[in-house]
Amino acid sequence: MKVPIKPIKKVLIANRGEIALRVIRACHVVGIPTVAVFSEADRSALHVRMADEAVLIGPPSPRESYLVHDRILEAAKISGADAIHPGYGFLSENAAFASRCRDAGIVFIGPPPEAIRAMGDKIQSRLRMKAASVPVVPGEDAVNEDTLEEAATRVGFPLMLKASAGGGGKGIRIVRSMSEIKEAFERARAEAEKAFGDGTVFLERLVEGPHHVEVQVFGDHHGTIVHLFERECSVQRRHQKVVEETPSPFVTPELRKRMCDAAVAAARAVGYVNAGTVEFLVDSNRDFYFLEMNTRLQVEHAITELVTGIDLVAEQLRVAAGHPLSFKQADVRQSGHAIEVRVCAEDPESGYLPSTGKIQELLLPGGPHVRLDSALYPGLEVTPFYDSMLAKLCVHSASRSEAIAVMRQSLAELRIGGLRTNIAFLARILRDPEFGSGVYDTGLLQRMSPPKDDPETDRLATIVAAVLRHADAETSRPSLKQNAGHGIDAWRSAFRHGAMR
């Protein structure tokens, strides 16, 4: 069926923070007006200020604002938005919401609800992948108290109990013996029921020391599905990604081709349209297995943009309007190496407890091929209501070793004052010999060596601190005259006092 091309006139972004800004910028570049939605906690948020219009949708809690279908759809109606971009998280993989958008005549900038449903249920997605000849981890589909032990015997230990619905590491338990399985099953089922409203659990053989590698795919309404190569996502804490890079230093050209072909086959099996990601586990023998599909734009999409030169959000807008993809598979090339780190408001030294407060000082890194996606500004109040990620810092260089060096420099320059962050922890990861080797798996953070002094990073941090102290002291003087050379004077002062020697 031929899909008519229908220009999008106004986009409502059903999200907040840096991803809302990312979408707003992409829309403005192509001349599409935007509508921001915001909770009472986000009245002063940057995405509210940058959008052409903004609509209040409720109290701070996401369950009373960003996750309420009716309030998002009402905001679209009163603002005249004819399309909704869900970003990631919140309603981005909610098939019911995508269906309601379609029923209301609103373009959902993402896959069709049928594809979201097909890949949202992990048991059903496993069956579809088997039918499409995509490798899956050996396992047993939905189990209950009566079938649990028999199914575990067939799968063999060690194994994983996994929730069929949802994601984000919830409803997952590793089991190494039969004596553990009943308690683990009850915990996984209860956690899944609480998080997703569905306590269905299945079993998979545990892939020991796996690499987590994902493939970016993109489909249009005209039957074209392409891949944009892979991303290495093995630096994880509790199944949550911390550092991503592309190309994967572990993936060989032959493995890359097989995985990318399998990802395209997976997307084709569910009639996929728009941006999505097929995730795989890869064992030490470089055998790979389908893990899941994220039916949305990924947090880490920026590093794919850096190595391919393709604006994924602009392409989402194009495809949602009915246009064919602006590129073919043969046009997609990997150039150089890109790394992303997720800067979060949390304290790694205190069990990763979330940190809240007002950003009192902010110094951002710069230089060629440095990209910071954030919604930060001095005075911003970081609240406890939302995800702790503050920013995504990305770098791109000719080689992996150069990209690591640029990222280390950028982390040393980045300063967010007023609350605790994981910046120092990220710098440790970039210094770790195992990470540097490129041959690391999802257990890296558990094995990572304890903190130790790094003279270069300490020197750069000292420079930054000296500049900020000097600037604070100067701006507090009543007789201070603002002039264009003030910042340079601060650096000169720091040098004179030895911080830059």
Per-residue pLDDT of the chain (501 residues; tens, 9 = 90+): 567 788 999 999 999 999 999 999 999 999 999 999 999 999 999 999 999 999 999 999 999 999 999 999 999 999 999 999 999 999 999 999 999 999 999 999 999 999 999 998 888 899 999 999 999 999 998 899 999 999 999 999 999 999 988 666 788 999 999 999 999 999 999 998 888 889 999 999 999 899 999 999 999 999 999 999 999 999 999 889 999 999 999 999 999 999 999 999 999 999 999 999 999 999 999 999 999 999 999 999 999 999 999 999 999 999 999 999 999 999 999 999 999 999 999 999 888 999 999 999 999 999 999 999 999 999 999 999 999 999 999 999 999 999 999 999 999 999 999 999 999 999 999 999 999 999 999 999 999 966 554 555 555 555 555 555 555 555 455 443 343 333 334 333 333 333 333
Measured distance CA(324)–CA(315) in Å, rounded? 9
Q: Is 447 a catalytic residue?
A: no
Among candidate residues 90, 30, 22, 28, the one with its CA nearest the CA of residue 305 = 22
The catalytically annotated residue of 126, 128, 231, 296 is: 296
What residues contact 214, with CB distance under 8 A and at least 6 apart?
Answer: 230, 231, 233, 277, 278, 279, 280, 294, 298
Angle between helices 301-308 and 312-320 (to 10 degrees): 100
Torsion angle defined by CA atoms of residues 258, 167, 43 and 372, in that order, rounded to the nearest 10 degrees: -30
Residues 6+ apart with CB under 8 A from 361: 378, 415, 416, 417, 418, 468, 472
- The model's pTM is 0.86
Up-side HSE of residue 52: CA atoms within 13 Å toward CB?
17
In the chain, % helix, strand, coil (3-state, to 5) comes to: 40, 25, 35
428, containing H or E segment: helix 423-431
Are residues 170 and 238 in contact, defined by beta-carbon separation less than 8 angstroms?
Answer: no
8 A C-beta contact, residue 474 and residue 480: yes
- Phi first, then psi: give them for residue 191, nearest 5 degrees: -65, -40
